[in-house]
Chain A
Amino acid sequence: MSAVLEVKDLQIAFGGVKAVDGLSFSAHEREIIAVIGPNGAGKTSAFNCITGFYRPTSGSVRIKGVDTTGKRPADIAAAGVTRTFQNLRLFPDLTVLDNVRAGMHLYGGQNWADAIFHTPRFKRSEAMYTEEAHHWLDFVGFEGARGVPVRNLSYGQQKRVEIARALARKAELLLLDEPAAGLNYSEKQQLLVLCRRIRDLGTSIVLIEHDMVLVMELFERIIVMDFGREIAAGTPAEVEADPAVIEAYLGKDDTAVLGNGDA
């Protein structure tokens, strides 16, 4: 198995605070990895470093063997990464279909001259964009009107649209930042089914999750982060038994360390 994503000794500091402090892991083809950890453990910061929204202080990120450390997010997206955001980041005033079309920006090969003169290539690519947008919305099980502004939709529907948009990018690696936040138990189950179907398309998934129970039940490989570092990794059983994990989540001895609300 070749590594789709290799993170080596990733570090990022904001002033004196080391949000990510020497994180290393790799994701292989068709693998689903869950990154868990208490609030402030550096999970989202690590995601932002991988996708180029933060410039890592040191360390390296390789995607499909290509070094993408410190590149622009758009270039990293072009290298084969797609992501969702912790708080929905859709284009609220645009239609559902347009939101999904955003994921297809990198292909279709239509330029401005095609648009102005409505060349056959323009018509072909527009038809393709629309068809694919419907396809991905079907894939994530999105029901409802698709020609309406996405801001009119419920939270759960918007989450699906965001995943559809990320899938439309057709990247090899999908990063999901807390996709299950705000979902109830059955919706979370549906999400996991969806993750497996995405994996079956040949996409690797790295996702951030808070809900320990869910993670323990359903993922093959888990990375536990705290204080910007990986404190444990392995199968759910291994992780669950790791004293460092218990300490991070529940605190040591009698000292009551606040975990997080969801856990």
Chain B
Amino acid sequence: MSENVDTTQAPLKIGPPRSRLSRLLESRQLGVVALGAACLAPFVTATPYALNVMTTAAIFVMLASGLNIVVGYCGLLDLGYIAFMAVGAYTAGIISKSFELPLIFTIPAVLVMTVLAGLIIGAPTLRLRSDYLAIVTLGFGEITRITANNLSITGGPSGIFGIPGLLKIGGLDVEEPAVLYYVTVLVVAGFVLASARLGKSRLGRAWRFVREDEDAAEAMGIHTYKVKLLAYIFGAIWGGLGGVLFAAHLSAVSPQSFIFLQSALVLMAVVLGGMGNMRGVVIGALVISLLPELLREFASNRYLAFGLLLVIVMVFRPQGFWPARGYERERATLEAGAAAVPTEKRR
């Protein structure tokens, strides 16, 4: 088939780095191990404070995995991501409170609202280039918060409180902190897996193509606008469902939870962890959400210490803890009739 193969060329020595550690980290079971660790954590410490921190961290992982779709895969800088969480949390809170429904039954409405929010924010802005998009999304984030602050249906500045629990079946009340923690961990694990799988699919590749070179992607028949809008909608769904978990966790929603700093922290988790790599992003989210708690002994200086650590990490590892790797497996066996390519004989 390939008659013009140049056999004089020396085998190339560019391959994926293959140490034992990296193989361990790339293994498929790593996610199962992480889930196991998350499930065992309450057996180490199960004080109400610890459960509260861990549940918050799990919700934060959910947000980071959603933003990773938008920023990491598709390269759309979104500075108002927390707005989707606000939409989800408020929709769930308002509906469940006014109809006395467990939160779980609000999920269809939350999905509709967050997809709508994604369309409303995304449709007019996604034609913009990245720097303009960042400014517009920043504006949308603030608009959402200020709207919530001023409407009566959202409870104004004090928000909504006394939101019913996620679900109550017989004796099992999901509002119980330990139960809620496990439910949150399982839901978040599912969505992290879904996000990772999306990243390694036809759609996920299309997102990366758009991120790398929009024109070339377009020339290959990829509708860049549609693909970007899809990234936005998926991000919105992740954020909105994160909002439902948030409402279930705190049983209260107020505008102060959706300030710009929150959007910035989620973005920081994605960048710090390694844009586009789900495993890195989960670690980044855990660091961002747990580190301030672990730094409590620094008392009033803990956010200073936190900021310094972030600066140090970014100076020494600008690509994040664990960036998306640009390698994949070489062809294992040669097809019949294909050229014997020197580099593939290595193993």
Contacts and interface: CB of A to CB of B under 8 A. Distances in A.
Given A97-B328, A147-B327, A51 B221 contact: no
Interface stretch (B103-111, B124-132, B203-211): B203-211
A148 interface: yes
Nearest to A112: B203
**Chain A CB within 10 Å, residue with most, of B4, B15, B206, B343:** B4
Given A77-B218, A118-B197, A138-B339, A95 B206 contact: no
B12 interface: yes
A95 B200 CA distance: 13
Interface in A44-88: 51-53, 72-74, 77-78, 82-83, 85
A248 to B, nearest CB: 29
Contact of A73 (B203, B212, B219): B219
Given A102-B205, A139-B2, A147 B213 contact: no
B12 to A, nearest CB: 5
Given A101-B205, A138-B338, A152-B14, A143 B5 contact: yes
Q: How large, as a class, is the contact surface on chain B?
A: 35 or more
Interface string B308-347: 0000000000000000001111110001001101110000
Contacts of A72: 218, 223
Interface string A183-208: 00000001001100000000000000
B209 A91 contact: yes
Given A116-B197, A145-B15, A74 B5 contact: no
B218 A74 contact: yes
Contacts of A77: 218-221
Contacts of A110: 201-202
B41 interface: no
Interface string A11-35: 0000000000000000000000000
A116 B222 contact: no
Given A105-B202, A145-B15, A95 B326 contact: yes
A212 interface: no
Contacts of A98: 205, 208, 328
A108 B221 CA distance: 13
A8 interface: no
Contacts of B9: 143-144
B328 A95 contact: yes
Interface of A: 51-53, 72-74, 77-78, 82-83, 85, 89-95, 97-98, 101-103, 105-106, 108, 110-112, 114-116, 118, 122, 125-126, 129, 131, 134-135, 138-141, 143-149, 151-152, 165, 169, 190, 193-194
Interface of B: 1-6, 9, 12, 14-16, 194, 197-198, 200-206, 208-209, 212-213, 215-224, 230, 234, 326-331, 335, 338-339, 341-343
